Structure 1
Amino acid sequence: MTFFLVRHGRPLIDPATPAASWELDPAGFDDVWALRERLPQDDAVWFTSPEPKAVATCQLLTEGDVGILDGLREQERGAVWVEDLEATVRRAFADPDAPAHPGWEPLAATRERLLAAVRPIRHAHAGTDVVLVGHGTAWTLLAAELTGSAPDLDRWARLGMPDVITLPEPLPSLQ
């Protein structure tokens, strides 16, 4: 089993609307299609966040069946535009039990939601490659949990749109 954590393609950014409702930028479709060759197709199970940019990314990456799971959505960040997103996300990781910005979900809550979604996938599809399409902060948390390591914020800062984090077995147990 290998986990492929795919970060969505480049969105159409609208500072007046919540990031969770942003659509995928058609100008970035070629970048998403280029990622297909790095992902399994026939022998993998696919799941995506319900956010439009993630669903659209997934639709460009596979013609196969895809499960849409609410638990895979990004950290809830409210509707307010944040100018210094990187500093705010780093604050969230530094103190995961507290909101890093008014209206933001504490990362501890994001982590629990992600784990509740991924545990059953891992158990139901043991021995099968799993492709999860979603978001950078969520995948940074999940990669840390799956590998038993600290969140890699430098990798988070370097993640492209789209990008993939590949985590082959063996992985520590998700308890």
Structure 2
Amino acid sequence: MTLHLVRHGRPLRDPGRPASAWELDPAAYDDVWALRDRLPAGAAWCSSPEPKALATAELLTDGDIGVVDDLREHERAAGWLEDFEDRVRSAFADPTLSAAPGWEPLEACRDRVVPAVRRLLDVHADQDLVLVGHGTAWTVLAASLTGAPPDLARWAASTTPDLWTLDP
């Protein structure tokens, strides 16, 4: 069994709305479709409920997609932060604290995402699993599943869309 973590395609950014409400940018569809050949046939599919993630999943498979609320991204309030990357790095440096007003502590994201994925891995133990979601959540998840520290260089270099493959 292999776990495929897909980071959503490029969103239509709207600084006045929370990122969790952003839609997938139609101009990014070709980038998303380019991942189709890299994903296994016969896999189970689940997605974050966020619009950009679910739209990405729908472009990648013609099969059923389970929507799992606990796969949503690290929760962040609306508003544009010029120092976004620094704030995310601060969240990783001390996951018990909110790195910005309106942000959940990163440990809350971990405590939501990791158990959800472990349940999905148990349910789909006999097949590959494709999860469509978000960069920060996948960084926390990968660290938890591998026992390695969070790979912030990988997080910073991650594209939209992107694909990470793990053998849990």
TM-score by length of 2: 0.98
> Which runs of structure 2 are paired with 1:95-114 in the superposition (5 Å)?
95-114=94-113
| Residue identity opposite 1:3 in structure 2 | L
Whole-angstrom CA distance in 2 between matches of 1:167 and 1:127: 15
**Is 2:46 the counterpart of 1:39?**
no
Question: Where does residue 7 of structure 2 map in the other structure?
Answer: 7
- In the TM superposition, residue 27 of structure 1 has moved relative to its aligned partner by 0.5
- In the TM superposition, residue 148 of structure 1 has moved relative to its aligned partner by 1.1
Structure 1: 4+ residue segments shifted above 2 A = none
- In the TM superposition, residue 146 of structure 1 has moved relative to its aligned partner by 1.1
- In the TM superposition, residue 118 of structure 1 has moved relative to its aligned partner by 1.0
- In the TM superposition, residue 119 of structure 1 has moved relative to its aligned partner by 1.7
The aligned length equals 168
- Please, what is the CA RMSD of the aligned residues? 0.8
Whole-angstrom CA distance in 2 between matches of 1:96 and 1:147: 18
Whole-angstrom CA distance in 2 between matches of 1:127 and 1:95: 36
| Residue identity opposite 1:144 in structure 2 | A
- In the TM superposition, residue 127 of structure 1 has moved relative to its aligned partner by 2.9
> Which runs of structure 2 are paired with 1:73-112 in the superposition (5 Å)?
73-112=72-111
> Which runs of structure 2 are paired with 1:116-135 in the superposition (5 Å)?
116-135=115-134
- In the TM superposition, residue 104 of structure 1 has moved relative to its aligned partner by 0.3
- In the TM superposition, residue 23 of structure 1 has moved relative to its aligned partner by 0.3
- In the TM superposition, residue 2 of structure 1 has moved relative to its aligned partner by 0.5
- In the TM superposition, residue 80 of structure 1 has moved relative to its aligned partner by 2.2
- Identify which range, 101-110 or 76-85, moves more after superposition: 76-85
| Residue identity opposite 2:121 in structure 1 | R
**Is 2:59 the counterpart of 1:60?**
yes
- Structure 1 counterpart SS, 2:166: strand
| Residue identity opposite 1:12 in structure 2 | L
Whole-angstrom CA distance in 2 between matches of 1:69 and 1:81: 27
**Is 2:43 the counterpart of 1:49?**
no
- In the TM superposition, residue 28 of structure 1 has moved relative to its aligned partner by 0.6
Percent of aligned pairs with the same amino acid: 63
Whole-angstrom CA distance in 2 between matches of 1:80 and 1:160: 22
- In the TM superposition, residue 124 of structure 1 has moved relative to its aligned partner by 1.0
Question: Where does residue 159 of structure 2 map in the other structure?
Answer: 160
Structure 1 unaligned regions, length at least 5: none
Question: Where does residue 28 of structure 2 map in the other structure?
Answer: 28
- In the TM superposition, residue 61 of structure 1 has moved relative to its aligned partner by 0.2
Whole-angstrom CA distance in 2 between matches of 1:33 and 1:88: 31
- In the TM superposition, residue 116 of structure 1 has moved relative to its aligned partner by 2.4
| Residue identity opposite 2:26 in structure 1 | P
Q: Deviations over 1:73-115 (max 9, x none)?
A: 0000011221111111000000000000011010100001002
- Structure 2 counterpart SS, 1:131: strand
- Identify which range, 65-74 or 113-122, moves more after superposition: 113-122
| Residue identity opposite 1:106 in structure 2 | P
